[in-house]
Structure 1
Amino acid sequence: MDYCLFFWEVALVFHMLLYKNSEGLLTCNGHVWTEPAPVVQMGSNISIFCTSTKYTHCSQRAFVFFLNNEMYKGPLHCINDTTVQLQLHDVEIPIYTIICKVKPNGSNRELVCGMTISSGYPPDSPTNLTCVILENSFYMTCTWNRGKNTHIKTNYTVHLRSLQTNEEQLFLVKNNITIIAINELQDYTQYIVWIEAQNALGMATSDLLQFQLHEIVIPIAPIITKVESIDNSTSHPLIRWEKKTSIQNVHCEIRYKAAQLPTWSVIKGSEMLSINPLQLRNSLEPYTEYEFQAHCGQKSGKKYWSEWSASFKHTTPELAPSGMLDVWRFLGLTYTNGSHEVTVLIKPLSPEVARGIISKYEIFYEDHGYKTISKFCKTSELQCRIVVSQTVHTINVIAHNSQGTSKPAKLPVQLDYNRNDSLLPPRNMRVISAAQNEILITWESLEKFILWFILEWISTACENQEGNFSWKKVPKNQTSIYIQEFIEPRECIRISLYAIYSNGISKPCTGYGFSVEDKPIKGPDIILQQVVGDKVYIEWEDIPVCTQRGFITNYTIYLRNNNDFYSKYVVNVSKKQWIFENLSPGIDYAVYITASTAAGEGPQGTIRVITLDRDGSDTTVLVGVVLIAPMLIFLFVLVSNERICKRIKIILLSWMPTWFFEDFPNMKNSTAITSLKSHTMKIQ
């Protein structure tokens, strides 16, 4: 705040330097002063007076005050013909620059004079006074807490007095630290130190601190030189360290922690007993980087501790993985011999479970009681494809590191297991949109014993892009989960939940969800229009999933006539058809449909026109004629072309049966017919 005060004082001087006489000297045509003082406590009332030596007819319009370069528009009070008063109440601004000007007889404003006033607080008593000497240093450093900000210039005086000689030294500082040379001070002499704080509003002193020089020395920190694991184990490692201080009566401490964690474990001085090397009582986590630090302090005197030493880092040895992999699978092609492809999906082990560097994955299975290694997969291969025979029902997947393997993760792969009705699927699965682009899935627990659940989700493939697939293993006692991976707002997600049993996998419980819903971007198209009497039947189909942008809640059908009068019908989402009744013949009706989600109504679909003729027929007959007319024209063109007709005749004759080409006798020359005619004439 002292810098702020300096800034405003400079600003005031610069402003006043603009008003110089012809000889270049600053001229004040009067003076400005304050009551009770130019420095007051915050919250006080203050009066500012301005007296002009040139203007002798005081009026509020003639005098103008500028506070921090802004013109004061409040009331002024004339004390006499030459002096005006401004009153400020509850002053809370630390610095004010005051400029007083006068405007006699309507002329330009002239400077009277200016000043700076300050507001703040008296100093608090300094607390937590500490004086220390670093080992092998020739200086003593004293620090303290100043208390609240005074907002005004405050000086601190350090008093150092010898109790033997009563000699006292004073050190004036502006902040809360001072460094004092000790070359003229005597060891084993009692000294007292105290701090005196003073500003324009008051003074305060700290408590006394009494000491001898050797009592406030901080020892040099020790150095940790080595950390050893015994027999390549993480149990009870050895810590070797080196004491650097020449002070005899000291004790030291060591602390350690995993590098990625914030909390330290401390080995107290009573536990160390100056043992070197020191063996930890606790075991460390395998294949984990640890930090080790040490410091020392005097057992007597002020018992100041050194800073902690620089960290010594040590990585513990590997151990075999402690858990099992999370695995899932895609079932692929089935071959003629009954074998089929399986794509195994692997999630990497967490560092706590891997307990080392995973070098490879192994997939194996048992066939007729014999172990068969199917494939080794690199750690970069999180999708491994294998082929198994129809007699293999379960495969096993394990992870390798330098010390061993994980427990086998069993994965049913036989297609027949999926048809096992005794493997109950999850029940009553619900998909709920949640905050922050998440989707909440809930379901009911199963009564029968299961091992775990597998949840898989895939985003809808849109605009020639492949959908993103992800999956997660869920503990058997869990009945809800939030998912966020590969989920974008307004994107439809297909979700499948499987129950995993010791003898197979249930059928999936499937649903769809959106993290954030929006209005559809397309309306439904009418795919069927049929007229029965004065009724018109329409049918439409769902809009594509990629354009829904949310769960469709209802459809709205709009029917508009020539006079722009329209009717609106809201239809349940389960319906895909509608019947219009009592339509008037000879009137054109425009029909279109919209779809709505929780976010609102989307745009209209394709407009269809319905017109009932006067006799009740639909213009769809005209549509049929329009479709048939091109076909008739095409046939006419074929018949009128002689060459094309001959070729068609040859082709058609090749398809005729043989009896079609047999020669028949002339019926007029038939004997049977002549005899029959003669017999008929005789009867007559």
Structure 2
Amino acid sequence: MQKDQGALLVEVLLLLFIPEGVQSCHITVSSSTIQLGSPLLAFCPSYCPVFGREKLQVIWKLDGDIVPNAQYSNDQKTSSVYFNSFNKTTGLLECYANSSSGLQLVDKILISTGYLPTPPTNLSCFINLTANIVACTWQLERNSGLLTHVTLSSSRFVNTSSSIEHCEVPTNSEYNCTSIMSQMSCKIPREFFDNYKPLAVWVTVKNKLGSATSCPLCMIPVYQVKLDPIIIKDAVPYEDCVSLRWTNGEKAEFLKHLRCEMRYKSEYQMEWVKAEEATISVKERTQCGLIAATNYSFQIRCIRKTLTGQWSEWGPTTSLTTVDRVPTGNLVTWWRMLEATPDSAVKIQLLWKPLNREEANAKQLWYIVKKSSGLHQRDTIMCNTTALNCTFFLPNGIKRAFIWAYNTAGASPATEISLAARNGAPVSRMQVSSNDDYSLRVEWDPQASAKSYILEWCKTTEEHNCGINWKTELGGCNTSILHDNIQPFQIYNVKLYPLYEDCIGMPAQAEVYSKEGAPDFSPKLKLSTVGKSKAEVHWKPIPLERQNGFITGYTIFWTDTHGREYSSTLDGLSTKFEMKNLLPSTTYHVFLSSSTAGGCANGTVLMIHTNNLDNEDIRLMLLVFFLFCSLMIIVMCMICIMRHERIKNRFWPSVPDPAKSQMGKWASFIEEKPKMIFNTRDVTQIITSDITILEDWQGKKSPAESQTKDIPVSFQDYFLACNKQASSFTEDTNKWRSYINVDTVQYAKVITGGYREQSPPTSVYVRSDSTQPLLCDVSPVPQNYENMWFHGNNQEDSVFLVEEKNLIDFPLLQGLQIREDGEALSLFN
């Protein structure tokens, strides 16, 4: 620091005594490269010819930021700025002149900072016999932050003894090698060293702030040999050993005695295991105590027997697999009863734990299960598999079985399987809790007579089948940690079986989560019923795989159109809820929230619209309507009963059947003249038959002809006409004729006979002035009292074109009289 202050003082004195004419418009500093954190003093002239002869106000900037005025120092000729500690790795320092036209840049300079180089350390050199060079490496403690040049120098010495004991840096070097900073290594060619003469080597580091040199290394190259990596030529496994053979390389064959070491690791190990170092003249090594049927990797390195020079690099890896051996140890078994068949055979699932690597002694094991204890006995083999479980039917009465593990080298000792009954006492207390996210902790009260315990667990699902995991604990234990196949947010069913001398205890079981979380979703609400003031919704429970914890409860929320919110909390077993006290004809938004110990999840929104009427109201209205309809039906029935005859005559009038009439027995009006008194009030006792006698109308007649006088009609002429037209009547009985009512038609007076001594009135019929046709192409439909026989007649002049034999069936016609010109005519005179 004192050196820096002295340099600054000298610089200030020089600047003060510089002649004015010599002064230029530039920033002046002692050096543009300084040590990081050291002070910095810079000068800028106050007068510059470029800006005229007036004195200028100088403003300093560092990386675009104005330097505070407190750091300025101005005099008549210059302006200076002082930094007590310059902590920027690089900084742009600028000098501005504040003239009338604004700020004008006078000069700028880039300041770089760094550290003085430090001497390199850990300088080491060795001779490579294959490449015939001396290779050196070193280390630098820190990066100076500046451009650095690293040079490796070497020089040979004449005085061997003095040079090695008192190694100093020579005044000059024979060979210089410039190295890249990232490599920190150099090589000295063969022409610059002798194998048996001392060689001095040193490293120099230099930058703009200074230089540093490492401690020199003096060596005789032939004693600093580093062998090439050792290559294993042959590896032979046998029993639990491996025999290795290797070579040193062509250039190192003159080295007869070496010190070598070997390291190895199995496929199940992460770290290398180092074997004991040994001086080896014969390039061979044997390693024993290895696990059978296991893949091993081997590497070897060597150094000179005197340990001078350097260890060679570890050679290429050689891998091999040790041979199989006979399995040892007994299998740990467990069994489950699946079902019983009608023939008393029991279906058994047998499970067992795999042997460890030291006991299996093979990559692949087979397992065989038999009823007898002899592996080679000729009895039924119940299982022969490579899996860790098998299922078979055990005949009734068999209480034990045997299992073996075998490989290509042989079979293990037999392990007995006890198939005792499961009717023992269970443990008095068992508690299962979470140990961490991937394990469970089980605690129980131990049973005094229990030899051991079996813990069985599996992930609970909607299906009945699940993957069984199990483990064995000794009889004195009361705690166990379950690790296999435990995952967070999954429910597990844990069972504990105590094993007694002659039986197996009943299981104690519990369900537990290693970690609980919020459900994946909340159930979707569905509407069951809705009324005027209440509504019921239901939902399906969340599947076990997606609950992520025990459902502690449900909360149902509903909101009306006015923003009023309501809620209700339910237990975790609920599947429906009825909302009450709702407003009629109102829309509600309803959703369900499901909760566990790890959180909650909200479901989708269900919109419910209440009715104007409730079900009870609708039923009451239907009841009133039914009663009203019933009353109306009863009243109508009573009216029908009371007015039976009138209603019957109204809709179904009584028409006498002429075929069954007794009128044929009546006396003719010739024998006894009927005396009928017409009573207008008693209409029902009048029997009338109006007969219309029409004149024959042949085609169209002129109006003059239609105005002729009425011609009297006699029945004798009428019957003569009937006889003449008998033939035409027979041929055209099925044809209809058209009749036209004309002005010349004269209606007759009809006197009807009395019914049972009653006096009938005389009916006078006048002619009609209507010109409308009475009959068309098709005969009109007869009335209820008309006889269809008359409409089948083909005569044109009269409707009484009947045969005499047919009139006998209608006695009523016998009593008809036609009065014309004061004379009474009878149809049968």
Q: With structure 2 as the length reference, what TM-score do the two structures score?
A: 0.57
In the superposition, relative to structure 1, how do residues 204 and 366 fare at CA in structure 2: closer, same or farther (>3 Å)? Answer: same
The aligned residue for residue 511 of structure 1 is 511
Q: Distance in 1 between matches of 2:374 and 2:355?
A: 31
In the superposition, relative to structure 1, how do residues 619 and 54 fare at CA in structure 2: closer, same or farther (>3 Å)? Answer: same
Say whether the 8 Å CA contact 2:489–2:513 is kept in structure 1.
no
Say whether the 8 Å CA contact 1:491–1:514 is kept in structure 2.
yes
The aligned residue for residue 269 of structure 1 is 278
The aligned residue for residue 72 of structure 1 is 65
Name which one, 1 or 2, has greater alpha-carbon Rg. Answer: 2
Q: Which runs of structure 2 are paired with 1:474-513 in the superposition (5 Å)?
A: 474-476=472-474, 477=477, 479-483=479-483, 485=485, 487=487, 490-500=489-499, 503-504=503-504, 506-513=506-513
The aligned residue for residue 247 of structure 1 is 254
What's the CA shift for 1:140? 1.1
2:212 aligned partner, one-letter code: A
In the superposition, relative to structure 1, how do residues 55 and 79 fare at CA in structure 2: closer, same or farther (>3 Å)? Answer: farther
1:492 aligned partner, one-letter code: I
In the superposition, relative to structure 1, how do residues 95 and 349 fare at CA in structure 2: closer, same or farther (>3 Å)? Answer: farther
Q: Which runs of structure 2 are paired with 1:166-565 in the superposition (5 Å)?
A: 168-174=173-179, 175=181, 176-229=184-237, 232-235=238-241, 237-244=242-249, 245-248=252-255, 250-260=257-267, 261=269, 262-270=271-279, 272=280, 274-275=281-282, 277-280=284-287, 282-300=288-306, 302-325=308-331, 328-345=334-351, 349=355, 351-366=357-372, 372-379=379-386, 381=387, 383-406=389-412, 408=414, 411=417, 417-418=421-422, 420-422=423-425, 424-425=426-427, 427-432=429-434, 434-435=436-437, 438-444=438-444, 446-447=446-447, 448-461=449-462, 469-476=467-474, 477=477, 479-483=479-483, 485=485, 487=487, 490-500=489-499, 503-504=503-504, 506-513=506-513, 515-519=515-519, 521-522=521-522, 543-546=541-544, 548-554=547-553
What's the CA shift for 1:387? 1.4
Point out where structure 2 has 5 or more consecutive residues left out of the alignment: 1-23, 160-169, 625-829
Say whether the 8 Å CA contact 2:435–2:481 is kept in structure 1.
no
Q: Distance in 1 between matches of 2:435 and 2:621?
A: 50
Q: Distance in 1 between matches of 2:116 and 2:528?
A: 89
1:160 correspondence with 2:154: yes
In the superposition, relative to structure 1, how do residues 514 and 181 fare at CA in structure 2: closer, same or farther (>3 Å)? Answer: closer
Give CA-to-partner distance per residue, 1:552-592, whole Å, 9 cap, x none.
334557799999877766677699999999x9999999999
Helix, strand or coil at the partner of 2:240: coil
Q: Which runs of structure 2 are paired with 1:84-123 in the superposition (5 Å)?
A: 85=80, 87-88=82-83, 90-98=85-93, 105-106=100-101, 112-123=106-117
In the superposition, relative to structure 1, how do residues 403 and 528 fare at CA in structure 2: closer, same or farther (>3 Å)? Answer: same
What's the CA shift for 1:389? 1.0
The aligned residue for residue 148 of structure 1 is 142
What's the CA shift for 1:475? 3.6
1:264 aligned partner, one-letter code: V
In the superposition, relative to structure 1, how do residues 222 and 131 fare at CA in structure 2: closer, same or farther (>3 Å)? Answer: same
Q: Distance in 1 between matches of 2:567 and 2:385?
A: 62
1:479 aligned partner, one-letter code: T
Higher strand fraction: Structure 1 or Structure 2? Answer: 1
Helix, strand or coil at the partner of 1:405: coil
The aligned residue for residue 597 of structure 1 is 596
Helix, strand or coil at the partner of 1:183: helix
Q: Distance in 2 between matches of 1:572 and 1:619?
A: 29
Helix, strand or coil at the partner of 1:217: coil
Q: Distance in 2 between matches of 1:164 and 1:326?
A: 78
What's the CA shift for 1:133? 0.6
Helix, strand or coil at the partner of 1:226: strand
1:173 aligned partner, one-letter code: T
In the superposition, relative to structure 1, how do residues 188 and 579 fare at CA in structure 2: closer, same or farther (>3 Å)? Answer: closer
Say whether the 8 Å CA contact 1:93–1:119 is kept in structure 2.
yes
What's the CA shift for 1:164? 1.5
What's the CA shift for 1:341? 2.0
In the superposition, relative to structure 1, how do residues 92 and 621 fare at CA in structure 2: closer, same or farther (>3 Å)? Answer: same
What's the CA shift for 1:150? 1.1
Helix, strand or coil at the partner of 2:118: coil
Q: Distance in 1 between matches of 2:479 and 2:272?
A: 33
C-alpha RMSD of the superposition: 5.0
The percentage of counterpart residues that share the same residue type is 18
Helix, strand or coil at the partner of 2:27: strand
1:181 aligned partner, one-letter code: P
Give CA-to-partner distance per residue, 1:238-291, whole Å, 9 cap, x none.
333344423346422131312433122223124x4x2454444x4222122223
Q: Which runs of structure 2 are paired with 1:122-141 in the superposition (5 Å)?
A: 122-141=116-135
1:286 aligned partner, one-letter code: A
Q: Distance in 2 between matches of 1:627 and 1:605?
A: 37
2:399 aligned partner, one-letter code: H
In the superposition, relative to structure 1, how do residues 58 and 498 fare at CA in structure 2: closer, same or farther (>3 Å)? Answer: farther
Say whether the 8 Å CA contact 2:229–2:316 is kept in structure 1.
no
In the superposition, relative to structure 1, how do residues 413 and 305 fare at CA in structure 2: closer, same or farther (>3 Å)? Answer: same
What's the CA shift for 1:355? 2.1
2:405 aligned partner, one-letter code: A
Give CA-to-partner distance per residue, 1:429-487, whole Å, 9 cap, x none.
2232734xx352322252343334233212423xxx89763413244347232447373
1:269 aligned partner, one-letter code: A
In the superposition, relative to structure 1, how do residues 421 and 350 fare at CA in structure 2: closer, same or farther (>3 Å)? Answer: closer
Q: Matched residue pairs, number?
A: 569
1:356 aligned partner, one-letter code: A
In the superposition, relative to structure 1, how do residues 63 and 386 fare at CA in structure 2: closer, same or farther (>3 Å)? Answer: same
Q: Distance in 1 between matches of 2:500 and 2:44?
A: 94
The aligned residue for residue 12 of structure 1 is none
Say whether the 8 Å CA contact 1:396–1:411 is kept in structure 2.
yes
2:349 aligned partner, one-letter code: T
The aligned residue for residue 772 of structure 2 is none
What's the CA shift for 1:211? 1.7
Q: Distance in 2 between matches of 1:413 and 1:524?
A: 49
What's the CA shift for 1:518? 0.6
In the superposition, relative to structure 1, how do residues 204 and 460 fare at CA in structure 2: closer, same or farther (>3 Å)? Answer: same
Say whether the 8 Å CA contact 1:159–1:170 is kept in structure 2.
yes
1:125 aligned partner, one-letter code: P
Q: With structure 1 as the length reference, what TM-score do the two structures score?
A: 0.68
Say whether the 8 Å CA contact 1:459–1:469 is kept in structure 2.
no
Give CA-to-partner distance per residue, 1:287-337, whole Å, 9 cap, x none.
222233333322348332222322333322112233455655553332111
What's the CA shift for 1:338? 0.8
In the superposition, relative to structure 1, how do residues 335 and 118 fare at CA in structure 2: closer, same or farther (>3 Å)? Answer: same
